[in-house]
Structure 1
Amino acid sequence: MVKSTRLALAVLTGLIASPAFAQDLPKLTIYTYDGFAAEWGPGPGLKAGFEATCVCTVEWVAADSSIGTLRRVQLEGASTEADIIVGLDTAIAGEARATGLFADHGLDLSGLSLPEPWTDGQFVPFDYAHFAFVYDSDTVATPPKSFEELIALPEDFKIVVQDPRSATPGLGLVLWIAAAYGDRAPEIWAGLKPHILTVTREWSESYNLFLTGEADMALSYSTSPAYHIISEGDDTIHAAIFSEGHLAQTEVAGILRSSDQPELAKQFLAYLTSMDGQKLIPSTNWMFPVTDIGDALDPAFATLPQPAKTLTLTDEDIAANSQRWIDQMLAAVQ
């Protein structure tokens, strides 16, 4: 009896390990941006953690940006292979919702820890931070404390920003200035123009220009200094806190209505917001988690200054005005 049981277990183990069995497992295809799926990003850890519980396989499909993931599923429509998009944000959630491609998530998210209670029925948050300009205190002793202070600096004080049509932070800056200044936004952009070294397609390009000393500040996030503190032991990179307030970015995930694995997709989003999933986020995606993970959050995050005022825009404001605001920015800086 013992021998036969061992034989059965051996056969079962062989089946599980075999390629044929692996091919029979349900597959969850997730579109995301390249940094999320990269070996240093949250993707590999989330894949391993979820696969350990789901008896399934997770496949990441990376685009060059979160905006790129949305454009891809818009082109593919109901024929898309994606079950989930991970990495949209609150700036484009309204546009994503309007496509009709996303399903309700059906999760209870009342226990999440966010600046504002989360009530969205289609998109699930998984991290957040404020848009901010970062600087090196070794080279910038007195950073500007507002957009107007930045504009008043000598023209050789240079910043790098991203294109709002291709990069989420670039769009975030457009919305940030609109939220802070309203009808004065074109005036602010005109004042910023002499300081803009270049407008890059993606965040990584502009951040590299900043790190190599080509620019004094780069548009990034209030949490970006945590990377340098934790990974490099460098405490000279800081976020400049502006008196007008800052716009927050909350990254979200959504299930495609066309998914043939809706329950599995829902399970993944539940895992993404669970303690186990959230522990992987801060020190790989360098954002605040949306779940209280206690001591698992590196103490470096507690040292980061936070804006006294968080600016907000409604989905309706963004949908009605974002193209006009983008056009204003492009007209001013080109």
Structure 2
Amino acid sequence: MRRRTLVRGVGAGTGAALTGLAGCLTRDAEEEEPDDGVEEPDENALRIATYTSMVTGERPAGRWLEEAFLEDHPNAELDWRVPEAGIEHFIRRGEIGAEPGADVYLGLTLGELVRVDEALGDDGELFESLERGRLDRDGRLRDDLTVDDPDDRVLPFDTGYISLVYDERDLENGPPDSFDALLESEYERALLAQDPRSSDPGLAFLLWTIAATGEDGYREYWQALRDNGLRLGESWTETYRNRYLEGEGSMIVSYSTDRVGAAAAERPLARHRVAMLEDAGYRNTEFAAVFADTPRAELAYEFLDFLLSSTAQAEIATRNVQFPAVADASVDLEPSFADRAREPERTVTMTYDDIRGNLGDWLSEWETLWTGESDG
């Protein structure tokens, strides 16, 4: 059959229709005009919700995943859905009891899972508990990526480490090596980061500062960051492409694998040095989840199992510039990946139990501090 790639932009409102973009992958799917004439996919189409860079750009992982998956499933079709509001779109639909309009979420983070649970409560079943027996490759997963989700709803498919990326030509004395050093005057207005309300790495950085300074200390720490000229972007893409690459800052909160992507894009590696604060990086894992009551459960599980194959893991790592989620050595990464990607000596991360019940308050307190607004 003739395959066609569907990328559907999803509106931000709770009642927004899942209108689409058909025919090709676009660079910024959510910014394109929706094509209201695109019909809903048939029963053989797996609807995958994800983020923009998974399906756009020069070498998106989604394009490769689609072509490879359909080689073994020639009668199927993948229908990519890119919600403007990310996970918030599906939270809003869950709040009004609407059908999510997707079968799989690809790119969920632990923080987003907690946001789902805090918003919808124990009765809001947005994602189903995984039937692990339907996944032949589940046993390949790294033990350190096991999640303490009480309902066992997520499957890791790649992981990375939040760190600082810096331009060695701009920092005369080198990068900071600790959270305290980051506040020194020589780094005034040097750091770019992402808004934790709208960005996964931005939220990971906030959680990292809470882990490092404590619940009683992170507010004071963020005030000091702000006083030292920290600037925020809405997303990683906007902060990196539109600000860091344009020379607005000498450092950016990003990933310890950035040199892999920079080399592939033929960008100067001197501008993509990696610095670990306290010799550590904050582990930020991406997960896949199956929406509850999907009518395409069989195809959804076949896709999740395919994500853990050696070939898929190698391509995801290379194209998403992250580390594989499986433990065995059969993932054949290019030698340049190992040469340029850095793993920290220590890994910091928060568990589901650490975050659940706290995330909403942390974000609210952070917003009050950052915007200078209060409820009083």
Q: Structure 2 length as normaliser, TM-score?
A: 0.76
Name the CA distance, whole Å, in 2 between partners of 1:61 and 1:190. 37
Correspondence for 1:11:
none
The answer as to whether partners of 1:229 and 1:235 remain within 8 angstroms in 2 is yes
Contact 1:31–1:63 (8 Å) recurs in 2:
yes
Cα distance change of structure 1 residues 264 and 90 upon mapping to structure 2, 3 Å threshold: same
1:55-204 matches, cutoff 5 A = 55-64=75-84, 66-68=86-88, 70-71=90-91, 73-74=93-94, 77-96=97-116, 99-107=124-132, 108=135, 109-113=138-142, 115-117=144-146, 121-141=152-172, 142-154=174-186, 156-182=188-214, 183-204=216-237
CA distance in 1, matches of 2:154, 2:314: 20
CA contact (8 A) 1:146 1:243 kept: yes
What percentage of aligned pairs have identical amino acids? 29
Deviation at 1:200, TM superposition (A): 1.6
Instruction: Name the amino acid aligned to 2:140.
Output: G
Q: Which amino acid aligns with 1:166?
A: S
Tell me the secondary structure at the aligned position of residue 358 of structure 2: helix
C-alpha separation between the residues in 2 aligned to 1:326 and 1:222?
25
Q: Distance in 2 between matches of 1:325 and 1:45?
A: 38
- Across the aligned residues of Structure 1 and Structure 2, the Cα RMSD in angstroms comes to 2.5
Opposite residue 153 of structure 1, the aligned amino acid is S
8 Å CA contact 1:193–1:332 kept in 2: the answer is no
Deviation at 1:172, TM superposition (A): 0.9
The 1-side partners of 2:351 and 2:321 are apart by 25
Which has the bigger relative contact order, CA under 8 A and spacing at least 6? 1
Q: 1:257 aligns with which of 281, 289, 292?
A: 292
- Partner amino acid for 1:102? F
The answer for unaligned runs of 5 or more in structure 2 is 5-40, 372-376
Equivalent residue, structure 1, for 2:51: 33
Cα deviation for residue 321 of structure 1 reads: 1.3
Which of these two proteins has the greater Rg computed from alpha carbons?
1
Shift of 1:114: 5.5
Kindly indicate whether the alpha-carbon contact (under 8 Å) linking 2:188 and 2:229 is maintained by their aligned counterparts in 1.
no
Match for residue 23 of structure 2?
A: none
Contact 1:126 / 1:252 at 8 angstroms: preserved in 2? yes
TM-score of the superposition, structure 1-length normalised? Answer: 0.85
Tell me how far 1:245 sits from its aligned partner: 2.9
Map 1:16-27 → 2, pairs under 5 A: 16=1, 26-27=44-45
Alignment size in residue pairs: 316
Partners of 1:234 and 1:18 lie apart in 2 by 38
Match of 1:319 among 337, 350, 356: 356
Higher helix share: 1
Corresponding residue to 1:271 among 306, 330, 347: 306
Runs of 5+ in structure 1 lacking a partner? 1-15
